[in-house]
Homo-oligomer: A and B are copies of this chain.
Amino acid sequence: MNGILLVSHSKKITDGLKEMIEEMIGINSKVNVYSLGGMEDGRLGTSAIKILDRIQKCKDFENIFIFCDIGSAILSAEVAIDMSERGLLDKIELVDAPLIEGSFSVAVQASVMDSKDEILKDILAY
C-alpha cells in the first residue's frame, strides 16, 4: 500500500484534490489518499501534528508520499518527518513537485507500479 499525504493551508483544497484523485484511480488496493489541509480546527494553516499522526498510521505501508503547496506547508511536513520514527524515514518521500499536478501523477503511477523509484521516475524528471 502507498499513502499519498496532501498538505496545504486549505482543507478545501486537499479535500477537493483527494476527490479528484479518487475519481481518477477508483477504488484502489494500492493507494490511500489523505486530506491533511488546514489546522486541527479547520482554519487556514498547516499542522505538523496532523501530518505526523498520519505518518504513524501509515507505518506499515510500503511508501508514504507527502505533497505540499507553499511556504509553511513544506515546513510543517519537514517538522513531521523529523519527528517520525527513524525506521520510517526510508519509506517517506517529501516530493518536490506542485501539490495538485504532482500528487495526481504519483497517485496514478502508484496505482499501477510497485517500486518507489518507478513511481517517482516521471515526476522527478519533470
Q: Which residues of A contact B (CB under 8 A)?
A: 8-13, 15-17, 19-20, 23, 37, 44, 69-70, 98-101, 104
Partner of A16, one of B23, B37, B70, B101: B37
Docked CA distance A11–B13 (Å): 9
- Tell me the dominant secondary structure on chain A's binding face: helix
Oligomer: number of copies: 2
Nearest chain-B residue to A99 (Cβ)?
B100
A-B interface, 4 closest residue pairs, ranked by CB to CB distance from nearest = A12-B16, A98-B98, A10-B16, A13-B16
Question: Which residues of B are found within 8 Å of A13, using beta-carbon distances?
Answer: 12-13, 16-17, 20, 100
Q: Which residues of B contact A8 (CB under 8 A)?
A: 16, 20, 100
